Amino acid sequence: MLVRKPRDYGRCQYRAELFPSHTSPTAYDELQRVHSSSPAADKQSLRVLHLAAKESEVAVSDALSQLLNSTQPLTFGSVKTVINQGIEEPSVQVRAVDLSAYSVLLHQRAL
């Protein structure tokens, strides 16, 4: 609901309770500082919270901590970039399948 109405988020009385970790309120303050308009900061913050709900609260919290301790500006895009950098693609090896045993079974059944 708040994603569709970001202005209500800025006036939300229980906004702090929506955050998944103690880092998020600090991130919200930083977003308010970076973005001159409050609605833009609210929208960015809601996108970060939505990402935490969809992906991983721990990954978002770690990304926020990393960005708050760096000189990189805090935006939804930077949070998503940090999260994606931490994800490694698993290597998958598919062995060749020997279908000759199956062919023999089919041949025996046909007789």
Q: Is residue 107 part of a domain?
A: no
Expressed as residue numbers, the domain containing 30 is: 6-90
**Residue 1: per-residue pLDDT:** 46
**Residue 91: per-residue pLDDT:** 82
- Mean pLDDT in runs of 10 for the chain (111 residues)? 59 62 73 76 83 86 87 87 79 87 83 67
Question: Any residues with CB less than 8 A from the CB of 45 and at least 6 apart, and which?
Answer: 9, 27, 28, 31
Q: Give the C-alpha separation, 91 to 88, whole Å.
A: 9
Q: Is residue 100 part of a domain?
A: no
**Residue 5: per-residue pLDDT:** 61
Q: Is residue 32 part of a domain?
A: yes
Q: Is residue 42 part of a domain?
A: yes
Q: Give the C-alpha separation, 100 to 93, whole Å.
A: 21
Structural domains of the chain, count = 1
**Residue 15: per-residue pLDDT:** 58
Q: Give the C-alpha separation, 81 to 23, whole Å.
A: 18
